């Protein structure tokens, strides 16, 4: 019986897994500036071109992107009359177009969600989207190098799903989305967020380097960085990510990259800071090179899984088989005794 208990505990620990290991000597976030503008009380999306920060508020009744200096002061507002439902994240493509992820759906009521493209001149275009499997709440958007959007769901206990359009975006649409995998985000001990340890498993934002070479997902407490090879974002999310703690953000939802690879983060609330982790993107690139040289391939641990290939399903089946075998052996021993 002791052997059965021990085996069960080992397998349970293996199935539960742990958070991706920290890269060696990850720098702590350093203050950049403090958001003191009441118009940005619900900072949710962030983009940087190195000189300016571009910020998005959660919710709102019209399409708006705030242009900030590196001192966090609002210099101007790019706006359009389009009335969104619940914008949650912000991305920017190489042509300068902003993409607002109007995908928030806390109560799972929306028949369609949307992406809103916004030019620097203030022209907005609506692109409606539909999921293949019901409603989802999404706060994270990544635009890959080719301009394809990826949506990552905000799910409790870290089981985040990844979707992308089945073809070119239509306006107003809707364009169907397809599932391209899932991410298992593990609990961490990083302090912060409004919902305790559950917040460390909840995806609240995403970002991409301008050249698409590294992408990041964030929870309320941590960022996860993935190197992207040859523009293949789907495969990149199967890698073991580099975890960068972002401690003590009250409601951390915004994340971005500077052109030099510095990771920026921020949260909701007037008086909250935008902070920076220098050299963060390089950590992901170095980790990918090391992974390739030691294993000859990518690791799915902590990354995405496709259908029956999801590793935890296979481990769960193995656990049942092993435990069942141990129980059978125990019964045979009792009979012989």
Domain residue ranges of the chain, discontinuous segments joined by +: 27-308
Confidence at residue 61, expressed as pLDDT on a 0 to 100 scale: 84
Q: Would you tell me how many other CB atoms lie within 10 Å of the CB of residue 313?
A: 13
Confidence at residue 100, expressed as pLDDT on a 0 to 100 scale: 98
Confidence at residue 59, expressed as pLDDT on a 0 to 100 scale: 84
Of residues 255 and 318, the one with the higher pLDDT is 255
CATH architecture of 27-308: 6 Propeller (2.120)
Tell me the average pLDDT across 292-303.
Answer: 46
Q: At what angle do helices 2-16 and 311-336 cross, to 10 degrees?
A: 180
Which of 62-71, 152-161, 241-250, 259-268 comes out lowest in average pLDDT? Answer: 152-161
d(C-alpha 237, C-alpha 163), whole Å: 12
Confidence at residue 164, expressed as pLDDT on a 0 to 100 scale: 98
Residue 250 neighbours by CB under 8 Å, 6+ apart: 192, 193, 194, 267, 268, 269, 272
Q: Give residue 21's pLDDT band: very low, low, confident or very high (50, 70, 90).
A: low
Both tokens assigned to 196: 């305790």
pTM for this model (two decimals): 0.82
Q: Would you tell me how many other CB atoms lie within 10 Å of the CB of residue 103?
A: 29
């Amino acid at each position: 019986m002791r052997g059965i208990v021990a085996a069960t505990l080992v397998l349970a620990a293996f199935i539960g897994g742990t958070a991706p290991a920290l890269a060696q000597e990850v720098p702590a976030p350093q203050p950049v500036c403090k958001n003191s503008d009441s118009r940005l009380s619900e900072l949710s999306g962030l983009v940087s071109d190195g000189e300016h920060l571009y910020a998005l508020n959660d919710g709102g009744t019209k399409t708006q992107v705030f242009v900030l200096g590196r001192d966090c002061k609002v210099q101007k507002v790019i706006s359009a009359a389009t009335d969104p439902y619940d914008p949650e994240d912000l991305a920017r493509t190489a042509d300068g177009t902003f993409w607002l992820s109007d995908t928030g759906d806390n109560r799972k009521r929306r028949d369609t969600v949307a992406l809103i493209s916004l030019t620097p001149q203030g022209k907005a275009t609506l692109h409606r989207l539909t999921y293949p499997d019901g409603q989802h709440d999404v706060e994270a958007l990544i635009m890959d190098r080719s301009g394809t959007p990826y949506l990552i769901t905000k799910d409790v206990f870290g089981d985040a799903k990844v979707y992308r359009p089945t073809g070119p975006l239509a306006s107003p649409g809707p364009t169907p989305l397809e599932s391209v995998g899932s991410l298992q985000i593990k609990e961490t001990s990083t302090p912060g967020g409004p919902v305790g340890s559950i917040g460390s498993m909840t995806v609240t934002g995403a970002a991409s380097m301008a050249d698409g070479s590294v992408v990041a997902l964030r929870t309320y407490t941590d960022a996860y960085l993935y190197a992207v090879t040859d523009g293949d974002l789907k495969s990149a999310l199967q890698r073991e990510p580099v975890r960068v703690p972002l401690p003590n953000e009250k409601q951390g939802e915004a994340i971005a990259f500077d052109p030099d690879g510095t990771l920026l983060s921020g949260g909701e609330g007037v008086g909250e800071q935008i902070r920076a982790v220098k050299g963060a993107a390089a950590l992901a690139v170095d980790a990918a090179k090391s992974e390739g040289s030691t294993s000859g391939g990518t690791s799915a641990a902590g990354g995405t899984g496709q259908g029956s290939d999801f590793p935890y399903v296979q481990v769960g089946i193995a656990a049942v088989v092993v435990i069942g075998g141990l129980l059978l052996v125990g019964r045979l021993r009792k009979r012989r005794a």
